[in-house]
Amino acid sequence: MSALGRTLAGAALVACASPLLSHALAAGEPIIGTPRGLAAPARADGRSGEPGGPGLALRAAKALTCARNGPLVVDDAVVLVRDGKIESVRPAREAEVPAGYERLDLGPLWVMPGMVDLHFHSAGSFDINDMVYLANPELRVAASVVPRNPNLDRDVAGGVTTVLYIPGSGTNIGGQGVLLKTGLDRFEEMAVRNPGSLKVAQWGNPERWIMGVGKTFEGWTIRNTFQRGRMYAQAWKDFEAGKGPEP
């Protein structure tokens, strides 16, 4: 991925699709325009906006902020990004770009926060549905992550910058999911939270399990698994407090 592509993904910003942007991201070419006076100094290290790099100023026709407070849409917007985080989104007439920031004019394009997919199965090799046991809380889907696989690259192209990669639903408890950033080269860079969730499925898919189960046994399995988990956690607390043996 180009430096600009990594920056946009890392800062959770994506520009709405256009042939020009797609070409620039694929070819590693900066999108630099000066018709509105936003000059672009030469890129020093190719990682503007990312941690350790210079700041990045993006000017776009429109910014969708998704803010809880304040305007949801900013026309003729300037977005400042520093150390992988969005600093501010302001109308160009009000924006002050600090010295040393790389400036990119996106012309008629829009920018928006990267989308988050919280039910995702395509970050790896698809061997994410182990069905020997009906409950598998100890399994970790992180072991099957394949960075920069074609599906993750498609997500970046479509504006998805964060995914919750989870096991399949062939069993009651499929294992532990992992929250990932898309578009990065190494798992250590991608992982936001690991484990990031526990996959629980009821009714429908788990009923296809090897032996054939119904709602009553599925409910019992989940209750039993959670109860044993709570007992195990309490045993560790007791051990650390000197009140019991090591689990």
pLDDT, mean of residues 85-90: 92
**Domains and their CATH numbers in the chain:** 3-113 (2.30.40), 116-212 (no CATH)
Please give the pLDDT value at position 39. Answer: 38
Confidence class for position 50, pLDDT limits 50, 70, 90: confident
Q: Please, which residues have CB within 8 angstroms of residue 184's CB and are 6 or more apart in sequence?
A: 6, 9, 10, 147, 148, 190
Question: What are residue 34's DSSP bridge partners?
Answer: none
CA-CA distance, 131 to 119, in Å (whole number)?
Answer: 19
Q: What percent of the chain has a predicted confidence (pLDDT) above 90?
A: 56
Beta-carbon neighbour count of residue 133 at 10 Å? 15
Q: Across all residues in the chain, what is the average pLDDT? A: 81
pLDDT, mean of residues 12-28: 36
55-65 confidence digits (pLDDT tens): 999 999 999 99
pLDDT, mean of residues 36-47: 46
Residue 29 confidence (pLDDT) above 80:
no
Closest CA to 155 of 181, 134, 178: 181
Please give the pLDDT value at position 54. Answer: 92
Q: Is 102 left (phi over 0), alpha (psi -120 to 50) or beta?
A: beta
Is the pTM higher than 0.75? no
Q: Identify the residue with better confidence: 21 or 227.
A: 227
101-159 confidence digits (pLDDT tens): 999 999 999 999 899 999 999 888 777 888 889 899 999 999 999 999 999 999 999 99
CA-CA distance, 181 to 10, in Å (whole number)?
Answer: 8
176-217 confidence digits (pLDDT tens): 999 999 989 999 999 999 999 999 998 888 887 777 788 888
User: For residue 85, what are its two tokens?
Assistant: 């985080």
Please give the pLDDT value at position 216. Answer: 87
Please give the pLDDT value at position 46. Answer: 55
Write down the number of H helices and E strands in the chain: 5, 10
Please give the pLDDT value at position 243. Answer: 93
Eight-class DSSP state of 94: T
CA dihedral of residues 4, 8, 9, 10 (deg, nearest 10): 100
Confidence class for position 45, pLDDT limits 50, 70, 90: low
CA-CA distance, 30 to 41, in Å (whole number)?
Answer: 11
Which secondary-structure segment (H or E) carries 236? Answer: helix 215-240
